[in-house]
Every structure is written in structure tokens, then in C-alpha cells.
Amino acid sequence: MIKRKPKWLLKKVFFSQQKDVEISLKDIGIHTVCQEAMCPNMSECFSKKLATFMILGSICTRACTYCSVDTGKPSGIDEKEPQKVADAVHSLGLRHVVITSVTRDDLADGGAEQFVRCVKAIKEMDESITVELLVPDLRYNVEALNAVANCGAEIVGHNIETVPRLYSVRKGANYELSLGVLESLKAANSKLKTKSALMLGLGESQEEIRETLQDLLDIECTLLTMGQYLAPSKVHTEVVEYIEPKKFEEYGQMASDMGFEFVKSSPYTRSSYMAHEYFEER
């Protein structure tokens, strides 16, 4: 049985401004995770000319039961994509850029080289623009992780997504190995800020959340987002609980008290939601 969304999850949509950004991105030929993953914040972010770019195509090689991104056999790599990303950054006037990708298990480096090339294209255009990457596990390839950690991005994130007990929703992933991705990134570049995210409402307990947050802090991951899981369709993993905004505030305070440097925690928070605020709040 699908649970009815509570009133705090009924979000205002800004259609007119959203269309302008959609047209601009379509003309350039760039994907966004906002569109591909049906992010509930899309109209809000597009109205502010914010977007999270999704590179390496729109077809994922995995089929996680919580995600709406299409799965299947991806096509080749678009060699012009790094310049397209830079063009989109210029078109939107972004000062902080977030780039993610589908998982590409068909590539030996998981797509790491394309991330590096995108960062280079942006920095060559304007070195003062800050860049945040949200990477898949890159097939746990140490050389690939080292390359991404040292490519010039100020922040690199990898989402832990949920607590160990519920990791079956992440097809092809492993909790300890996902922690290892973040640990490897930090080990490769001690100056790098690492970031992760949890989606809540899958049936996790507060103690399980606390233990997972401590695991992140133990590997020096100090930037965190927590948001409500929303099932994209009837065939995806069901929502177990809609968590009230006040509880998200409590979880956010708990994370801050534990030692996280930057925390965003609310029902609509997503990995890259208002990501630029980290640099504004320092």
C-alpha cells in the first residue's frame, strides 16, 4: 500500500522559470540529475538557475530499487561533454558547480577520466569557480579514485545512502566498500573535503543513523546531507516512514554535535541541494 504524502511534502512548483533553464540545457546538450532522477527540488533550483549536471550519459549499469534513472547498456563517451558542461556553467552563471554521473561499470575506471576532464574545462574557463563532484564507486579502482581526488575539485562526495542493514536497496554496492571509497578519496588528498548523504524513511532506527554517521566521521567525511526517501513509482522500494521536519532538525543537530562541519537535514534535502551554501557559511 502506497502511503499518502503528508502536507510538508507538498512543494510549490515554479514552472515558468523552470522552462527557461530546461531550454538552455537542451540547446547545449547536457543532462542533469535533476531531470533524470525526477528530483522534487527541480523547479525550485531551476528557478534560481541552479542545476546538477549528470555526465557519462543517462543510462546506468545498475538498477537500485530506489532510483528512477534508466538502466541498461550505455552508449560511448561523449568527447565534447566537458566543454558542454563548461558552456552550461557559463550560461547559468554558476559560481559553484556540482557534477555527478550514472554508474558506468562498463568502463575500467568507472568514468573517472571524464570527471577529471570536466573539472579541467571549468577551471580553464574560470579558476575561481568551485567544483563539487558526486561520484559513484568507480568500481573501487584506486587509481581512478586518486585521479578524482586530485583533479582540482574542492569537494568530492560519494553517497552512503542508507544504514548497513538496509543495503540490499543498493544493487551491486557494499556498505564497507562505499565507506572505503570516501576513505580512499581523503587518503589521496588530505586537503579535499569529502561529503556523503543518507536518505531516510526506509525503516532505519535513530541508533543505526548515529552509528552510520560515526562511521563517516571516523574516515574524516565531514560534509553531510540527509533527506526523505520518496519512491519514484509503485515498482520501487516502498517508503516505510515519512519523517516529520522537526525530526530532521533533530537529526541535523545530532550530526552537528557529533562533529560534522556542514549539515543539511530536511525532508526535501538531496545530495546537491543548495550545495553552494557550504562556501557561504564557512
Cβ-count burial of 195 within 10 angstroms (0-12 exposed, 13-18 middle, 19+ buried)?
Answer: buried
The predicted pLDDT at position 245 comes to: 96
29 pLDDT exceeds 70?
Answer: yes
159 pLDDT exceeds 70?
Answer: yes
Instruction: Extract the C-alpha cell encoding 240.
Output: 516505510
Q: Write out pLDDT tens, residues 78-127.
A: 999 999 999 989 988 888 899 999 889 899 999 999 999 999 999 999 99
The predicted pLDDT at position 176 comes to: 95
The average pLDDT across 11-15 equals 57
Nearest CA among 79, 77, 99, 78 for reference residue 88: 99
- Whether pTM > 0.95 for this model: the answer is no
The average pLDDT across 215-221 equals 98
In the chain, the domains with their CATH numbers are 12-281 (3.20.20.70)
Long-range contacts of 26-35 (CB under 8 A, 24+ apart): 28/84, 28/87, 28/88, 28/91, 29/84, 30/81, 30/84, 30/85, 30/87, 30/88, 31/55, 31/57, 31/58, 33/69, 33/100, 33/272
